Amino acid sequence: MGTVLILRMKGKKLKSVWSHSGQPKEKNSHKNQNRPHTLREEIRHHDYMYYVMNQPEISDTEYDGLIKKLEEYEKKYPESVTEDSPTQRIIGQRTNEFAPVKHATPMLSLTNTYSEEEIREWDKRANKILGNEKKEYIVEPKIDGVSCALRYEKGKFVLGATRGDGETGEDITPNVKTIRSMPLTLTKVSESTDIPNLFEVRGEVYITKKEFKEFNEKIKQRGGALFANPRNASAGSLRQKNPLVTAQRPLNFFVHSYGVIEGKKVFDSEWEFLRICKSYNLRTIDNTKVCKSIDETIDYCKKYEKERDALPYAIDGMVIKINSIAQQKKLGWTMKSPRWAIAYKFSAIQATTTLKNIVVQVGRTGILTPVAELEPVECGGVLISRSTLHNFDEIKRLDVRIGDTVLIERAGEVIPKVVMVVKTKRTGNEKIFKLPERCPECNSVIVKEKEEEVAYRCPNPSCPAQIARSLLHFAKREAMDIEGLGDAVVEQLVEKKMVKDFADIYSLKENDLAKLELFKDKKIENLIKSINESKKRSLSRLLYAFGIRHVGEKASSVLAEKFGTIDNLTKASIEDLTSIPEIGPVMAESIVNFFNQEETDKLIKRLKQSGLNMEEEIKEKKSSSLTDRKIVFTGELKSMTRSDAEKLVHELGGDATSNVSKNTDFVVAGENPGSKLTKAKKLNIKIISEEEFLEIIKKSPSIPLF
């Protein structure tokens, strides 16, 4: 029976809904099933458990029964059909009859390791068996997808199967056929060995991060249950009964290993196997490397641990394999996994925890942001106890309540976010969050400036929280860079009303600071010193430090360069500003509004009196092969972020623009380049790789690379 197979495949039990006889219990005898909204909610809940959590609570037959009931109701009362009714979605058909497939050789898993020491121990164990033989290692990302075996007979794709319990999987051939990145016929695209009679490759079905985001966005617009991560979306897509539905899912396939191969002995190393796959038009994992020593192997794993976010697909670790097939044979297998390979696992970027409370934070422009206070949990290698909820609409969208169990995600440097609520964990004691009527910091009545805006704000410019956040922004490294003016100091300065605006910072005396808690002589001296040093900062930094709405770091430096002094900028009209390509009408209006205010005028006068620099130093551009060149980046860069690359271009006197035009000098194409590359080709613009770009940078004068 199909459901039993699903159980086996996922290794999870449906304890709660199956009786000892194997028949579904009468547990879900739902009251009011004829009421359409109750039914719809119930179906949505089961969709969520099935597709998102991978933990179905009812059998497929029961589920089909619910759908049928709703369909019958809606047929009788067509006016009751809502746009978001589960009957209006295509994913209604569920799998219950994928045929079992016995794997010719078991699809085993890998032993997981979590530290450098464990990798070295594995290597030592291998050395014990291999003696003094020299080894090579194949190291590649561990794709966070769904394992799948593809069988080719005489070069023709004949069978696609899931891993199942490793011995027996499920036949998902029609669904696999919809994956465009897997060839239906193997063709030799380059000089290579003849295609064997039987060639079974194994690999990972996955969805790229970008496509996953877009896909979930579409589900969100339809009001459906979101997928927690790309892996769940891939698993759900492969399990579709109707391959037409699977065909609409952005699935991809990477080969990473093999099952049975019959015919001539075609390769004697993993690397050779991968090369042959490529020559047959099968996609192998990018960034696979042959390492000559365990140290090089570990370094490569660590590199990707740091850079995992830059990859276009989710990875949960690295896989290390001994390259030589002869050595693999000597090492052999345990019952569960090969001795010739291991997985080095990274810390998970998702975790579930309890949301203890929702507090409201006031930003420097008065915008109120709800923040979730969480039961501390490790996620992505750090302990997380708070997470932004972005805005009040997000609370509604997630239907998150105080006391809920939530799934959080932390990708790289990004602040952790609440992805979804685990509704099955609800006890009924959760509390719905109420939007406050007043600012939690100054008690002013909060406002929504425009009806269409999602943000609420505190309208009081003297709100201490707003002042504190503006001061922190003013002092931060990218702005006036005042070391020592951090959270604790600012909080006390504002609370004691010693600082009410930016200019007050420059009137602070040593004896004022001595009144602050935990403020020792040396610290006072250092803070006064860095306040004085900050007076010399460039105009561009000062403009950025003001925190003018819509004016970021880049716009501030454009303004400073174009106008040279603050007095010139103060006099600029909207027309003057919008004549600058980087400045749009919204930003221009915001700048003019800022400088038209009497308070701004007073502030600038006081800052001038304190001796602050109000001019932009004329930078002498370093002459390089990028000087006055217009460069466009497309795709993802491996060695640095896009913004760091753009900064480098600017430092070398070039201009990094976002659109390709006939004036573009060259385009740097990273991984998965977008439409800009197509446009560049059309316009015959020079295209260079990231490596070539790095070469140019390296040859340029005195630029520290990283």
Residues assigned a catalytic role: 142
319 interacts with ligand IVH by CB under 6 A: yes
Amino acid in position 422: V
Contacts of 599 (CB under 8 A, 6+ apart): 501
- Nearer to ligand IVH by Cβ, of 233 and 685: the residue is 233
Q: How far is CA 509 from CA 136, 516, 533, 550, 611, in A?
A: 65, 12, 15, 33, 15
- Nearer to ligand IVH by Cβ, of 343 and 631: the residue is 343
Count interface residues toward ligand IVH (CB under 6 A): 15
Contacts of 452 (CB under 8 A, 6+ apart): none
Cβ 305 to ligand IVH shortest distance, Å: 15
What's the rounded Cα separation, in Å, for the pair 76 and 185? 49
142 interacts with ligand IVH by CB under 6 A: yes
Show the binding pattern over residues 199-238: x = contacts ligand IVH (CB under 6 A), - = does not: -----x----------------------------------
Tallying the residues shown for the chain, one arrives at 706
- Nearer to ligand IVH by Cβ, of 251 and 607: the residue is 251
Cα angle: 550, vertex 675, 183; to 5 degrees: 135
Which part of the chain contacts ligand IVH (CB under 6 A), choosing from 13-21, 105-113, 348-356, 560-568? 105-113
One of 49, 70, 101, 110 touching ligand IVH (CB under 6 A): 110
Which part of the chain contacts ligand IVH (CB under 6 A), choosing from 264-272, 338-346, 541-549, 674-682? 338-346
Contacts of 141 (CB under 8 A, 6+ apart): 285, 287, 304, 308, 311, 313, 315, 317, 318, 319
Write the DSSP assignment of 161-191 as a string of letters.
Answer: EE-TTSSEEEB-HHHHTT-TTS-SB----SS
Q: Which residue has the tokens 């060995």?
A: 193
Which part of the chain contacts ligand IVH (CB under 6 A), choosing from 5-13, 84-92, 108-116, 260-268? 108-116
Question: Tokens at residue 267, please?
Answer: 């390769």
604 interacts with ligand IVH by CB under 6 A: no
Which part of the chain contacts ligand IVH (CB under 6 A), choosing from 43-51, 123-131, 137-145, 451-459? 137-145
Cβ 166 to ligand IVH shortest distance, Å: 9
- The one-character DSSP state at 92 is G
Cβ 276 to ligand IVH shortest distance, Å: 16
257 interacts with ligand IVH by CB under 6 A: yes
Cβ 387 to ligand IVH shortest distance, Å: 28
Phi, psi angle pair for 144, to nearest 5°: -90, 75
Helices (H), 262-389: 270-279, 294-307, 325-331
- The one-character DSSP state at 450 is S
Cβ 350 to ligand IVH shortest distance, Å: 17
One of 42, 47, 74, 140 touching ligand IVH (CB under 6 A): 140
Cα angle: 390, vertex 395, 399; to 5 degrees: 150
256 interacts with ligand IVH by CB under 6 A: yes
Footprint (CB under 6 A) of ligand IVH, residues 340-379: 341, 343
Phi, psi angle pair for 676, to nearest 5°: -65, -35
Q: How far is CA 120 from CA 123, 127, 130, 342, in A?
A: 5, 10, 15, 11
Q: Which residue(s) pair with 252 in the sheet?
A: 206
- Nearer to ligand IVH by Cβ, of 112 and 600: the residue is 112
- Nearer to ligand IVH by Cβ, of 314 and 408: the residue is 314
Q: Which residue has the tokens 């217009």?
A: 630
- Nearer to ligand IVH by Cβ, of 238 and 285: the residue is 285
485 interacts with ligand IVH by CB under 6 A: no
Cβ 317 to ligand IVH shortest distance, Å: 8
One of 92, 338, 380, 635 touching ligand IVH (CB under 6 A): 338
Phi, psi angle pair for 104, to nearest 5°: -65, -40
- Nearer to ligand IVH by Cβ, of 140 and 170: the residue is 140
One of 9, 108, 195, 569 touching ligand IVH (CB under 6 A): 108
Amino acid in position 268: D
Cα angle: 635, vertex 641, 642; to 5 degrees: 55
Residues of this chain that bind ligand IVH (CB under 6 A): 108-110, 140, 142-143, 147, 204, 256-257, 285, 319, 338, 341, 343
